[in-house]
């Protein structure tokens, strides 16, 4: 069975297949019942993950969505959550913060690079009163998905988090792609996670593991998350076969992300000048390229997605807020040559449809 998709699949880095080394590690992995705390490979992964982001402990969870939900449940205790208006937690996690954690969101304006204003954070905090729930938690996202995979530096993060800390809030980082941010900034992931009580990062995106994310924080926080993971149905048994891939994801796959960033830049620079494309190249900082499209004769992002798919290039139309936009994500399973081919297809399509 071929391990790579035949199409040039730029919909997401979640489409990556486990690498040959991961397949081998799965077959050799020592396993046990992880709900009984007896899976040695999961334990090893949790220790490695915690150390990598500079936290005391970590929990292997089935998805980033579950990791973020657990953080909201535990930190916010049904109080209010401050988060960016275009954050993944707000727009793409089925409203779990409200529906399952009982925590309403207080959305804050996000700039085009995914940053919140420290003054907005300070101004949004309120105590419980007859009209409002008490503000309990601030969540940030780095890299910021719907801003185009943009990065927030350690200094900017510290400035945004400071007013929340001063007001006694808990803080959580949705670091689904924290290693992309760390690579782009040339700093350890731990430096970006340092200001937060907890951080979630994903193994199953650009790091190529088939399943799983890590939720990291203090010993007490992770113990509580372990119990609540079981409540949510996320307790896994012989999960060592998955954790074995996670070990390779952290130890090896984090080192190659600059290649994906270079591919994204190649795509962005070629697409930015094409007719109908509205692309802010300053937001192309990691492995994503997001742009608007309006062509002649009412052709839009949905049309472009369809025509690309007919030619073997898969893209996503982002439904999250505002005018539909096209998202391309680079990853290990699309080579530089695939990206050059995709550029040729874009050029052929857009140049042709603009002519009378």
Looking at the Cβ atoms of 19 and 204, the one nearer to ligand TLP is 204
Locus of tokens 């309403």: 104
Which of 331, 167, 153 lies closest to 258, judged by CA?
331
Report yes or no: 118 and 101 within 8 Å, Cβ to Cβ.
no
DSSP string, 257-285: HHHHHHHHHHHHHHHHTSTTEE--GGG--
The distance of closest approach from Cβ of residue 10 to ligand TLP in the complex, given in angstroms and rounded to an integer, is 11
Query: Mapping DSSP to helix (H, G, I), strand (E, B) and coil, where does residue 350 land?
Result: helix
Looking at the Cβ atoms of 46 and 174, the one nearer to ligand TLP is 174
What is the distance between the alpha carbons of residues 97 and 265, in angstroms, rounded to a whole number? Answer: 34
Alpha helices in the chain (DSSP H): 20-28, 40-52, 64-76, 88-91, 96-99, 118-124, 154-166, 178-185, 189-193, 219-231, 240-251, 257-272, 301-310, 336-354
The distance of closest approach from Cβ of residue 2 to ligand TLP in the complex, given in angstroms and rounded to an integer, is 22
Residue with the CB atom nearest ligand TLP in the bound state: 64
Q: Which residues bind ligand TLP (CB under 6 A)?
A: 12, 14, 63-65, 68, 88, 92, 141, 145, 174, 176, 202, 204, 213
Burial class (CB in 10 A: 0-12, 13-18, 19+), 193: buried
Backbone phi and psi for residue 250, each to the nearest 5 degrees, phi listed first: -75, -45
Looking at the Cβ atoms of 195 and 206, the one nearer to ligand TLP is 206
The distance of closest approach from Cβ of residue 286 to ligand TLP in the complex, given in angstroms and rounded to an integer, is 12
The distance of closest approach from Cβ of residue 272 to ligand TLP in the complex, given in angstroms and rounded to an integer, is 22
What is the distance between the alpha carbons of residues 183 and 76, in angstroms, rounded to a whole number? Answer: 31
The distance of closest approach from Cβ of residue 38 to ligand TLP in the complex, given in angstroms and rounded to an integer, is 25
Query: Residue 328 forms beta bridges with which residues?
Result: 289
| DSSP state at residue 205 | S
Locus of tokens 């992880």: 34
Looking at the Cβ atoms of 126 and 228, the one nearer to ligand TLP is 228
Looking at the Cβ atoms of 146 and 293, the one nearer to ligand TLP is 146
Instruction: Supply 108's token pair.
Output: 């804050």
Looking at the Cβ atoms of 125 and 173, the one nearer to ligand TLP is 173
The distance of closest approach from Cβ of residue 316 to ligand TLP in the complex, given in angstroms and rounded to an integer, is 7
Looking at the Cβ atoms of 52 and 204, the one nearer to ligand TLP is 204
What is the distance between the alpha carbons of residues 242 and 355, in angstroms, rounded to a whole number? Answer: 51
The distance of closest approach from Cβ of residue 66 to ligand TLP in the complex, given in angstroms and rounded to an integer, is 7
The distance of closest approach from Cβ of residue 263 to ligand TLP in the complex, given in angstroms and rounded to an integer, is 16
Q: In what order do the strands lie in the sheet with 316-318?
A: 277-278, 288-293, 325-329, 316-318
Looking at the Cβ atoms of 207 and 247, the one nearer to ligand TLP is 207
């Amino acid at each position: 069975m071929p391990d790579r998709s035949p199409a040039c699949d730029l919909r997401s880095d979640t489409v990556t297949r486990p690498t040959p080394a991961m397949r081998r590690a799965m077959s050799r992995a020592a396993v046990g019942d992880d709900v009984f705390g007896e899976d040695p490979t999961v334990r090893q992964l949790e220790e490695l993950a915690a150390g990598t982001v500079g936290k005391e402990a970590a929990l292997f969870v089935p998805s980033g969505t579950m990791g973020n939900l657990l953080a909201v449940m535990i930190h916010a205790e049904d109080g209010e959550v401050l988060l960016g208006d275009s954050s993944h937690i707000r727009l793409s996690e089925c409203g779990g913060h409200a529906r399952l954690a009982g925590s309403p969101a207080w959305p804050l304006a996000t700039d085009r690079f995914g940053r919140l204003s420290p003054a907005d954070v300070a101004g949004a905090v309120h105590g419980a009163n007859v009209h409002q729930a008490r503000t309990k938690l601030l969540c940030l996202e780095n890299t910021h998905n719907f801003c185009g995979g943009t990065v927030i530096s350690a200094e900017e993060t510290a400035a945004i988090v400071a007013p929340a800390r001063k007001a006694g809030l808990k803080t959580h980082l949705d670091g689904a792609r924290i290693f992309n941010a760390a690579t782009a900034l040339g700093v350890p992931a731990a430096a970006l996670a340092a200001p937060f009580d907890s951080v979630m990062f994903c193994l199953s995106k650009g790091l190529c593991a088939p399943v799983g994310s890590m939720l990291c924080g203090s010993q007490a926080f992770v113990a509580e998350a372990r119990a609540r993971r079981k409540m949510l149905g996320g307790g896994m048994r012989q999960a060592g076969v998955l954790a074995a891939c996670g070990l390779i994801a952290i130890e090896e796959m984090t080192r190659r992300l600059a290649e994906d960033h270079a591919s994204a830049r190649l795509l962005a620079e070629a697409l930015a000048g094409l007719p109908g494309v509205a692309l802010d190249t300053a937001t192309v900082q990691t492995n994503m390229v997001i742009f608007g499209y309006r062509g002649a004769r009412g052709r839009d992002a949905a049309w472009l997605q369809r025509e690309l798919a007919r030619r073997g290039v898969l893209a996503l139309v982002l439904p999250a807020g505002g005018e539909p936009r096209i998202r391309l994500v680079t990853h290990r399973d699309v080579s530089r040559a695939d990206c050059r081919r995709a550029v040729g297809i874009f050029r052929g399509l857009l140049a042709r449809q603009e002519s009378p």
